[in-house]
Amino acid sequence: MATTTVEAENLGKRFKDTTALDGFDVSVESGTVLGLLGPNGAGKTTTVRILTTLLRFDTGRAAVAGFDVARDARQVRRRIGLTGQQTAVDDLLSARQNLVLFGKLFRLNKADAIKRADQLLDQFGLADAADKQPKKFSGGMKRRLDLAASMILAPQVLFLDEPTTGLDPAGRREVWETVSGLAADGTTVVLTTHYLDEADRLCDRISVIDHGRNIAEDTPMGLKRRMGADRLEIVAADPVDLPALRSIVDAVAGGGAKVDETSGSVSAPVRNPVEALTAAANAVQDKKLDVADIGLRRPTLDEAFLELIGEPTEKEGDQ
């Protein structure tokens, strides 16, 4: 039976005249990955800071690993790991020295700190670079070392605040594989991210935050389904054929065809995707129309996100 490792009810937090959280709720099952998504200023980082005992909240309640965040902050800290937006490792120390240092900061004796450092170097695929300085690492390697440092005490819950910001695609994949491995081994992960593909890849559930409130929580697929059915899309080879293609799509889909003149395409939601695609392809062939592409397109997480929050506005920083 699934157990809840992180929960918050009606959390509220204000910074002078700014409301950062306004009745925020969330619940995270053990061994799963929850993604916190939202525009800048939505309250993602504030939520992480509260749940990791770095910031006091004004109203509501929160518990992590079975301990109240406000009353039992010390017990919470013993059971969590935190990786911020900036890496916390020292570029002048070797990878092993960094982890040993963190071990000592967590009050391990020297022998245990060295033993734990070697375990983590092996677990995170850094054993061959144990004696090298992080300044010589790739971005992905450096971030993996940072993640290893947060796992010194094998925490029940790992909080990641935008863990792949600034990394190239290869570095991001390295971090994704590491986070997936941690979750598979039973660690509960809460992460904030601006990358929708990252949330789609990593998260079991996603909480969408806007103006300090949880406006939706579901699986990535569940959020996509809110956008409706699959869409049939035909891209014209020649824009002059768009009206004819619109008639075909309208007939196959039972109405609702939309023309995008910028992309030169016609699309509409369909209930029976394969049947609709086959009928549309036959109609195009019968009318001897030349098309650049024809196919089915599922709603993306990006589309679901924008549908929920609207077009983003620029704000300074995140709260």
Distance, CA of 51 to CA of 315 (rounded, Å)? 23
- pLDDT category, 319, cuts 50, 70, 90? low
Read off the pTM: 0.79
| pLDDT of residue 48 exceeding 80 | yes
Domain containing 240 equals: 231-298
Instruction: Tell me what percent of the residues of the chain surpass a pLDDT of 90.
Output: 69
C-alpha–C-alpha distance, residues 144 and 176, integer Å: 10
In a domain, 33, yes or no: yes
pLDDT score recorded for residue 315: 47
Amino acid 44 reads: K
Same domain for 252 and 160: no
The residues facing 95 across adjacent strands are none
163 contacts 177 by C-beta, under 8 angstroms: no
286 domain residue, yes or no: yes
**Tens digits of per-residue pLDDT, 161-211?**
988 888 888 888 888 988 999 899 999 999 999 888 899 999 999 999 999
Task: Compute the radius of gyration of the chain from its Cα atoms.
Answer: 24
Are residues 196 and 284 located together in one domain of the fold?
Answer: no
- Same-domain check for residues 88 and 219: yes
- pLDDT per position as a tens digit, 82-93: 988 888 899 999
pLDDT in tens, 220-270: 988 888 776 788 999 999 999 999 999 999 999 999 899 999 999 999 988
pLDDT tens per residue across span 126-151:
999 999 999 999 988 999 999 999 99
Same domain assignment for residues 58 and 72:
yes
Domain tally for the chain?
2
Report the 10 Å Cβ neighbour count for 148.
27
Pairing, β 59-64 against β 4-15: antiparallel
The chain-wide mean pLDDT, for the chain, equals 90
219 and 235 belong to one structural domain = no
> What's the pLDDT tens digit per position in 10-39?
999 999 989 999 999 999 999 999 999 999
Distance in angstroms (rounded) separating the CA atoms of residues 181 and 186: 9
CATH code of the domain in which 217 resides? 3.40.50.300
pLDDT (tens digit per residue) in 270-299: 889 899 999 999 999 999 999 999 999 888
Between CA 126 and CA 281 the distance in angstroms is: 52
Q: Are 276 and 191 part of one and the same domain?
A: no
- pLDDT given at position 163: 87
Same domain? For 235 and 201 the reply is: no
pLDDT at 310: 74
Angstrom distances, CA of residue 250 to CA of 228, 267, 268, 273, 291: 17, 9, 8, 14, 16
Q: Please indicate, yes or no, if residue 181 is contained in any of the structural domains.
A: yes
- Work out the number of other CB atoms within 10 angstroms of the CB of residue 12: 15
The CATH number covering residue 275 comes to 3.30.70
Compute the distance between CA of residue 288 and CA of residue 220 in angstroms, rounded to an integer.
39
Q: Which residue has the tokens 């997480």?
A: 301
Same domain, 110 and 256: no
Q: How far apart are CA 30 and CA 28, in angstroms?
A: 7
